[in-house]
Structure 1
């Protein structure tokens, strides 16, 4: 694993630089990331490229065994560029152009900005592309962050109009498919179309909150803006690939903070990279982003370009508290266990100035190493011990499926807002599977489903005919499919189906949705689940679909006018089985429901018994099963075993339970796995 920090030599005096380099070389890390905000230092005036200051650091660290990730600095254009070409400035949905200052104030579609970005990227590629002390490149920094992903400048408006014309061919076709006749919104030509006033962009301000715009237009603008960001990124990626064989990535933020479709954006990148800032004080680190990251490029290892390093953000109450001793180490091992091939803390030393001054870091402003630095040293040593297991594979037979069109559509016209959040709900499905003793992958709608025995598809709100047919084939060929309320309600144009719901899939699920409503505290209704030998009582949540059809009712309402109505179905279709979950149920009931279908699918539970806030991650190498166990309970605990296990790091064997320290972890080896796989190939 490439392990290290983000570092900013452009900030340093000669004395500070030498002090930092000494600490970096003694830390045991093997990677630093540099340069993402240093355009004014790399090119102080047009065409005057200077990398000598960075060369010195790359060489000194490289000779000590520390490789560098070099970033293109296009997140922060220099003042000379902006004042010579003010047309490159970002214009938000209010029509406000952002002035120079801060970061991410450029338009990603502006041809002038693209040309200057191309030039600086080419110089970086030419200069560092074959440097033996460089191990990769990062493009830009957190694309579309700080509400900079939905530009409304004249260049974007014109390009969006052309995008719509290319897609729909005629304005009559667009009017028909979008239902523009509603409220008399038909257009006469594509040049009458403006980007939508409303936006789902995080932190953006709505100037006309009751200005209702066509949902098709809004979804198309989300797609257009995402594609434009990807197009801008790929200008740089193509150049870097021309000059270097080192891997190229960028750093996303969350699954959808910046509303870029990562499944598309990483096709021209060598690895998916993202930033992650979880709390580390008596808190479990959600592994859903890791599972998502692993699925973005079909199971390939991912990079975490920025990760928590400590507390004390701005020395005030709005920041993160300090991690427990051992929590940094634990979190890094967890990321490694989930498939990370790089983990870089943000950042090495606290900034004394600028917008992020007094921020958390591995080393404080005074440059004196303390517990976070020493914990990083210890983490580096443990990663070396784990190197022998870095090629262990994931062998999960369950997948949770997510989609960006669904996310965007449910943000444009929310359902039961704010209680229901699509990506949060998908994450809940993933985490409850884990709590029930099963590991899952997270994949997109275009992924290959054939390798999975059990698919969980939360709220496939948008499902085109092609995707409906893909689900039909999956079940027909023997797969087990669980889909939830709000399945197949709209087509790819963000227009509701006039078929009975779930549209195009009534035969697969054996049900028709007869009635729907959101679920609030005031109208929660009880239901009963009949799962083989288990009968459970729950209440509904978030949404309620009343179902009719020839499917078997395994969940039935027991209260109010809904008494006797089917809420959860099970249906045989072809060689497979489908389940339509018409509402949300409590955690315990959901885990029983998952276990019920996993048993039908022949999916084995982990032999390490699940426990709340203790994560178990299954990997396999050379026919041997390994289990990383991570203790997030904020206290010493133990985990029951169904069979003896060998502790790889502590070189001992546990017969019935494994002890785990607070913020502790273990790597367990299944002793009989080789025999088992020989007997049952």
Structure 2
């Protein structure tokens, strides 16, 4: 009889930089990492200048020795391609590699991510360094996987507004449209006499007198995204050939918008992302009120973190890694508070509950040089365990079993809708992320596990499908959603189906090809400045609406809520046709009320959770989480401030 194997559990890792410290630290650090319960170490994402200090002259002895030190300690190595930091000799020999910012200025050497994805010269050197790395370490027994590059798009680097990208964009357009007549029609260039008579006349959509044509911008964003995807695909293909049997991943960024992540993730074994909860709250959530930022300054907001976990689990619909996990204060946000006691453990547990198989802390020892000396590590500068390291040491975070996240709710998200929404927000207080995350927060506050998935993906198996801001609509997508509505309840948010695939509006008005499914046509929309609101009423509930309010002319739907004041008074604000509901007004209170009803109708059980308290389920367990500074009671359990409890489901 074959003995049963123990169930796999969460593993922990760390990002380390042997090139930053003397060699006599390497063995000791590796042994300490293993003793702390770590299993993996990620290295070398910024080490190109040490690998190749001069053109074609490679120095591998230091990396050989470092990898052996980790291996001798029983650690597995995730090795990175170092292309996020092309060295000075390459840039000075080929300055045409450098990217341009939105103001048309060259972005110089002296930091990181200083390359244009479209540069043929840089692509050649990227392939070369990736190939020699794969040839040297691809079969090393300690090297179990690869990370490509580092944080595509960080520092607004997915798009270059000049140089190689400017040269390549017209050719991309010609391949897409074939004729200038087709491009001019798709973009509506007769407007403002913007028609082109030669491909060479087309420039990038920046440095204009006033607003950019949304269709022009949409295609530039698509071009830039395709360029990132092809860059990624080149590295993946080389690593597959030179390092068979090893995994390949990439560490994506918080709320990054510069490329279509679904396309760029293709070909990876799993997705990773870099989680910095307090920095995210300060730097990436401009739509959140200051009082919320203050309340969650030392933990980050649970739903912002969870949204990114679920987003990255959904790219490939499989478990993911957190490749960089904050373990103390960061150094790059406007304010950088010291995290609350227990926050590092809570972040690790939450990542597991949302589908992370491995959590890797950034970094081992705090940097003693250059741009990141104010950033924390598991070790302080003096090599003693910092607060985050002590939290990892004090609790067995690896006892959590791996398995699936049993989400019955799907939230639909796509990057083209994001780009189109944000190019013409019409309401400064709203953005695509603000609207989408508001729906997500409502669902999480009702105790639901959520899959974030592409609208064109397989939607079978979900009881409730929520599309908060599905701005771009095609006939194929409309048919797909109509089929989904046959087995699930579907909820749409404001500005659904406002645009066609070219970025124009439907000729027969919004929601165009979605009109039959929704049973309504758009009547008007109202952009509400801060302090201006309108009121909606339903049969059992009334509330105020902020930021956005749109109304409908019904062609088969029924009215659930209507406006009772303002210029749309008496008109429909929330409508339903069969299993499909449309919420036309932006209000957290309204969302909670409507979504709670939809969850019940879908056979799910909404549970109104207290502010800052969350539930997450995975692998037959429920993680109870308290993100507040007060003791709370949940499901008969007392949770101390900033803590969690793991319960086996009955």
Q: Scaled by the length of structure 2, what TM-score is found? A: 0.91
**Per-residue deviation at 1:382?**
2.7
**Per-residue deviation at 1:581?**
0.8
Question: Aligned partners of 1:49 and 1:460: how far apart in 2?
Answer: 49
Question: Aligned partners of 1:405 and 1:172: how far apart in 2?
Answer: 23
Shift in alpha-carbon separation, 1:175–1:78, aligned structure 2, 3 A: same
SS in 2 for 1:30: strand
Shift in alpha-carbon separation, 1:431–1:496, aligned structure 2, 3 A: same
- Which of 125, 130, 149 matches 1:140? 149
Q: Does 1:285 align with 2:297?
A: no
Question: Aligned partners of 1:231 and 1:373: how far apart in 2?
Answer: 38
**Per-residue deviation at 1:416?**
0.3
Do 2:14 and 2:40's aligned partners in 1 also have CA atoms closer than 8 Å? yes
- Which of 340, 347, 350 matches 1:334? 350
Q: Cα deviation per residue 1:467-490 (whole Å; 9 max; x = unaligned)?
A: 122222222x23211101111111
Question: Aligned partners of 2:642 and 2:47: how far apart in 1?
Answer: 37
Question: Aligned partners of 2:449 and 2:27: how far apart in 1?
Answer: 46
Question: Aligned partners of 1:184 and 1:130: how far apart in 2?
Answer: 59
- Which of 550, 554, 563 matches 1:545? 550
Do 2:147 and 2:250's aligned partners in 1 also have CA atoms closer than 8 Å? yes
Q: Does 1:567 align with 2:567?
A: no
**What is the root-mean-square deviation of aligned Cα atoms in Å?**
1.9
Q: Paired residue for 2:6?
A: none
Q: Does 1:441 align with 2:451?
A: yes
SS in 2 for 1:114: helix
Q: Paired residue for 1:211?
A: 210
After superposing the two structures, state which structure 1 stretch, 3-12 or 146-155, moved more: 146-155
Do 1:482 and 1:580's aligned partners in 2 also have CA atoms closer than 8 Å? yes
Question: Aligned partners of 2:461 and 2:438: how far apart in 1?
Answer: 23
- Which of 582, 592, 600 matches 1:580? 582
Q: Paired residue for 1:644?
A: none
SS in 2 for 1:504: helix
Do 1:538 and 1:586's aligned partners in 2 also have CA atoms closer than 8 Å? no
Do 1:539 and 1:586's aligned partners in 2 also have CA atoms closer than 8 Å? no
Q: Paired residue for 2:170?
A: 161
Q: Cα deviation per residue 1:592-612 (whole Å; 9 max; x = unaligned)?
A: 211211111112346xx7332
Q: Paired residue for 1:357?
A: 373
SS in 2 for 1:219: helix
Shift in alpha-carbon separation, 1:163–1:313, aligned structure 2, 3 A: closer
Shift in alpha-carbon separation, 1:250–1:543, aligned structure 2, 3 A: same
- Which of 378, 385, 389 matches 1:369? 385
Q: Paired residue for 2:621?
A: 626
Q: Cα deviation per residue 1:370-421 (whole Å; 9 max; x = unaligned)?
A: 4322212234x231x22xx212x2222111111101111122222302x111
Q: Does 1:254 align with 2:254?
A: yes
Do 1:454 and 1:598's aligned partners in 2 also have CA atoms closer than 8 Å? yes
Q: Paired residue for 1:617?
A: 616
Do 2:320 and 2:358's aligned partners in 1 also have CA atoms closer than 8 Å? yes
Shift in alpha-carbon separation, 1:136–1:193, aligned structure 2, 3 A: same
Do 1:282 and 1:634's aligned partners in 2 also have CA atoms closer than 8 Å? no
Q: How many residues align?
A: 619
Q: Which structure 2 residue ranges, 5 or more long, are not aligned?
A: 1-9, 279-296
Q: Paired residue for 1:645?
A: none
**Per-residue deviation at 1:19?**
4.5
Task: Please show how residues 122-137 of structure 1 align to structure 2 within 5 Å.
Answer: 122-137=131-146
Q: Paired residue for 1:554?
A: 560
Do 2:162 and 2:204's aligned partners in 1 also have CA atoms closer than 8 Å? no
Q: Cα deviation per residue 1:251-289 (whole Å; 9 max; x = unaligned)?
A: 1112324x1111110112111111121127254433111
**Per-residue deviation at 1:522?**
5.0
Q: Scaled by the length of structure 1, what TM-score is found? A: 0.87
